[in-house]
């Protein structure tokens, strides 16, 4: 889950138009949140997520990109198309991804 808070729109959720997997949905949510923030004029963004998958992707993204979106074992990165879109959305934005375990408390 990625929580999106904006002064004008509050929290929102959308269906994922991509493959119906949690990983695809998490990437789509991050990308959409960045696009909404950019359209609202933000140049610095903090995305809070409880997704270890997203945080790992962001940590490994530079290496994957440098290696032609391949993992260390030579295999193509799963979800690479979605991650390439996210990589483009991040360009030119001061962005911080925050690990927020409290987002998933029941």
Alpha-carbon distance of 44 to 96, in angstroms, equals 8
Name the pLDDT band for 106 (thresholds 50, 70, 90): very low
Q: What is the DSSP string of the chain?
A: -EE---TTT-S------S-SSHHHHHHHHHHHHHHHHHHTT-SEEEEEE--HHHHHHHHHHHHHHHTTSB-TTSPBPTTHHHHHHHHHHHTTSEEEEEE-GGGG--
Using one digit for the tens of pLDDT, what is the confidence trace for 50-75? 888 999 998 899 999 999 999 999 99
Which residue is listed with tokens 């962001």? 58
Contact 77, 69 (CB under 8 A): yes
At the topology level, CATH places domain 2-101 in Nucleotidyltransferase; domain 5 (3.30.420)
* Predicted TM-score of the model (pTM): 0.78
Per the CB < 8 A criterion, the answer to whether 87 and 65 are in contact is yes
- Across all residues in the chain, what is the average pLDDT? 82
Which is higher by pLDDT, 63 or 16? 63
How confident is the model over 2-25, as a mean pLDDT? 68
Q: Any idea where the domains of the chain sit in the sequence? A: 2-101
Average pLDDT over residues 16-22: 75
């Amino acid at each position: 889950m990625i929580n999106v808070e904006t002064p004008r729109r509050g929290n929102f959720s959308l269906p994922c138009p991509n493959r119906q997997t949690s990983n695809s949905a998490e990437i789509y949510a991050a990308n959409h949140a960045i696009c909404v923030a950019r359209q609202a004029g933000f140049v610095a963004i903090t995305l809070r997520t409880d997704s270890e998958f997203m945080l790992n992707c962001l940590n490994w993204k530079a290496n994957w990109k440098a290696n032609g979106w391949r993992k260390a074992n030579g295999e193509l990165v799963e979800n690479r198309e979605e991650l390439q879109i996210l990589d483009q959305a991040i360009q030119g934005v001061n962005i911080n991804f925050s690990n927020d375990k409290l987002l998933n408390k029941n």
